[in-house]
């Protein structure tokens, strides 16, 4: 065949793609980490594009990957996994800032902060991992584009088990999450597909949120489809003061202030509060932010199966239903302003507050969207020092700090006032944080960030950050 006929353009493209794939595979070396060795040491030795295979065994470390194209891949043999154990002492299991990185088949447990987190990475893949709490976020892609989170099991998070923060073009598919405050959350993100997940026994099943005081001021185009969302009735044990502390148990799916959110084809059952709630940001968070619109617009509640939801609403949800004088068993509840919503099958559902929802046109479906990932890898341009400061702020600090409200750490306005123009002192603090406030947790050290990056982020916060 080869060479016998002139190639068509697409055959040529295919062949070129194959050759470059083969070439990149031939170029990438495989490094093996055995039980008792350090994964981080292998990452240090690895070149961009290398694959690191981790043998079954116990690894007590934080792995920080700042190189592109690394594939960190666990080997599971005879039921034995490579286990990363933070022993409730270390903050993070795997931290990724390189692009095109894969993290797969690791059992990550007992990290205080994050199990697996990406910080500003694009084109990542997080697959087939088990992430066990207690931790804050089990899987947390933050501020990146084009990612896949698939076939993971995540449980025991004190916030969201899978948390997609300020990200674009991410598929969260075929995961299982449970025993967490929120099963899956998409926060201030765009073009997110949450599909075929089993989300059960959390406080809140799936939430899409538009939160204030973060640098990204919108949240748009999210599809929640074909998930099983069941029994999300766990007692809320989030620490008082946390945003999630106000979330009433029993919410199957919560659409909080996000736009163009589609809820389609889910099995939503036995959530004791309400099946689907569409509400404005203020339902959970009241920090003022006049640069964002807190009202959800253009929600589509298409065909879903609702079974036995709403039998025992609690907290603010119960109060709301009591005021409205509603019997229990609400499938879909909408509060607040918001425009251009629609709902299908209205007559088959028990709804409250959906008077301003139109009937969705017959046949409306999101089926044409098979994936939200981009067709080609996102190309990141190299950053200047100033841009690195901003990026680090977005990718790292906003996980815990907002501009003017308490998140995990104190608001940045307070920090700006405390440090004035002293960039060096701020850069030093984040490498070696000391306990200052009795009513806050300890800030984990960010000493994996090189000195110039710490200075750049300090400069950004003290000189530029303004909302």
Residues 129, 288: Cα–Cα separation, whole Å:
38
Cβ–Cβ under 8 Å, residues 278 and 300: no
CB of 409 to ligand HEC, least distance (A): 3
Q: Nearest approach, Cβ of 428 to ligand HEC (angstroms)?
A: 10
Could you tell me the smallest distance in angstroms from the CB atom of residue 389 to ligand HEC? 10
Give dist(CA 163, CA 410) in Å, integer: 21
Q: Cβ distance 163 to 202 under 8 Å?
A: no
Q: Which of 294, 202, 191, 278 is nearest to 244 (CA)?
A: 202
> How many angstroms separate the CA atoms of 255 and 253, rounded?
7
Least separation in angstroms between residue 447's CB and ligand HEC is 11
Which residue, 233 or 392, is less far from ligand HEC as judged by CB? Answer: 392
Site for ligand HEC in 195-214 (CB under 6 A): none
> Maximum CA pair distance of the chain?
78
Distances in Å between the alpha carbon of 330 and those of 147, 252, 383? 35, 11, 50
Cis peptide before 134 (omega within 30 of 0): yes
- Closer residue to ligand HEC in complex, CB, 347/417: 417
- CA 262 to CA 280: how far, in whole Å? 16
CA distances from 286 to 278, 289, 342, 403 (A): 16, 9, 26, 14
d(CA 218, CA 204): 22
Select 251 or 396, whichever has its Cβ closest to ligand HEC. 396
Q: What's the min distance (Å) between Cβ of 163 and ligand HEC?
A: 12
Q: How many CB atoms lie within 10 A of CB 36?
A: 9
Residues in 441-460 at the binding interface with ligand HEC, rule: CB under 6 A: 441-444, 446, 457
Tell me the Ramachandran region of residue 161: left when phi exceeds 0, alpha when psi lies from -120 to 50, beta otherwise. alpha
Q: How far is the CB of 13 from ligand HEC (least distance, A)?
A: 42
Residues 382-401 that bind ligand HEC (CB under 6 A): 392, 396-397, 399-401
Restricting to residues 403-442, name those near ligand HEC by CB under 6 A. Answer: 408-410, 415, 418, 426, 429-430, 435-437, 440-442
CB of 148 to ligand HEC, least distance (A): 24
| Count of chain residues binding ligand HEC (CB under 6 A) | 26
Closer Cβ to ligand HEC, 148 or 465, answer by number: 465
Minimum CB separation from ligand HEC for residue 418, in Å?
5
Whose Cβ is closer to ligand HEC: residue 258's or residue 446's?
Answer: 446
CB of 422 to ligand HEC, least distance (A): 10
Q: Compare residues 388 and 401 and give the one whose CB is closer to ligand HEC.
A: 401
Q: Report how far apart, in Å, the C-alpha atoms of 357 and of each of 12, 56, 336, 346 are.
A: 50, 53, 12, 10
Residue 127, Cβ neighbours under 10 Å: how many?
Answer: 17
- CA atoms within 13 Å, Cβ hemisphere of 363: 0
Residues 80-139 that bind ligand HEC (CB under 6 A): 113
* 138 or 426: CB nearest ligand HEC: 426
Interaction pattern, residues 221-260, with ligand HEC; x per rule: CB under 6 A: ----------------------------------------
Closest CA to 40 of 62, 60, 72: 62
* Closer residue to ligand HEC, CB minimum distance, 442 or 451: 442
- Which residues within the stretch 175-194 sit at the binding site for ligand HEC (CB under 6 A)? none
Name the site residues for ligand HEC (rule: CB under 6 A). Answer: 113, 392, 396-397, 399-401, 408-410, 415, 418, 426, 429-430, 435-437, 440-444, 446, 457, 461
């Amino acid at each position: 065949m080869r060479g016998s006929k002139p190639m068509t353009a697409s055959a040529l493209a295919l062949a070129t793609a194959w050759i470059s794939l083969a070439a990149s595979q031939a170029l990438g070396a495989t490094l093996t980490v055995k039980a008792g060795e350090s994964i981080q040491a292998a990452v240090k030795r690895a070149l961009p594009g290398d694959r690191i295979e981790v043998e079954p065994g116990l690894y007590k470390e934080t792995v920080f990957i700042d190189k592109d194209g690394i594939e960190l891949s666990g080997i599971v043999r005879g039921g034995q996994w490579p286990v990363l154990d933070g022993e409730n002492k270390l903050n993070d299991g795997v931290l990724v800032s390189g692009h095109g990185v894969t993290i797969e088949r690791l059992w990550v447990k007992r990290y205080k902060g994050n199990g697996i987190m990406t910080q500003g990475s694009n084109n990542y893949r997080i697959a087939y991992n088990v992430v066990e709490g207690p931790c804050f976020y089990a899987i947390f892609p933050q501020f990146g584009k084009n990612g896949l989170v698939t076939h993971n099991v995540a449980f025991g998070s004190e916030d969201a088990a899978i948390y997609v923060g300020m990200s674009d073009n991410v598929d969260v598919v075929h995961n299982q999450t449970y025993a967490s405050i929120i099963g899956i959350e998409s926060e201030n993100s765009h073009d997110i597909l949450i599909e075929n997940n089993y989300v059960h026994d959390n406080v809140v099943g799936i939430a899409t949120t538009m939160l204030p005081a973060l640098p990204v001021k919108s949240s748009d185009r999210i599809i929640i489809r074909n998930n099983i969302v069941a029994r999300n009735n766990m007692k809320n044990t989030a620490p008082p003061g946390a945003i999630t502390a106000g979330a009433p148990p029993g919410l199957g799916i919560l659409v909080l202030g996000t736009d163009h959110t589609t809820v389609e084809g889910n099995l939503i059952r036995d959530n004791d509060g309400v099946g689907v709630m569409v509400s404005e940001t203020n339902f959970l968070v009241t920090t003022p932010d006049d640069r964002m619109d807190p009202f959800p617009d253009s929600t589509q509640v298409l065909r879903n199966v609702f079974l036995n939801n709403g039998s025992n609403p609690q907290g603010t949800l119960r109060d709301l239903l009591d005021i409205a004088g509603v019997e229990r068993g609400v499938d879909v509840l909408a509060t607040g302003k918001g425009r251009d919503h629609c709902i299908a099958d209205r007559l088959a559902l028990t709804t409250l507050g959906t008077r301003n929802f139109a009937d969705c046109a017959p046949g409306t479906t999101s089926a044409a969207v098979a994936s939200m990932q981009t067709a080609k890898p996102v190309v990141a341009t190299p950053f200047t020092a100033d841009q690195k400061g901003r990026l680090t702020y977005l990718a790292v600090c906003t996980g815990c700090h907002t501009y003017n409200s308490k998140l995990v750490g104190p608001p940045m306005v307070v920090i700006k006032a405390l440090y004035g123009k002293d960039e060096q002192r701020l850069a030093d603090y984040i490498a070696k944080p000391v306990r200052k406030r009795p009513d806050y947790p300890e800030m984990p050290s960010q000493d994996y960030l090189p000195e110039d990056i710490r200075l750049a982020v300090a400069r950004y916060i003290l000189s530029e950050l303004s909302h």
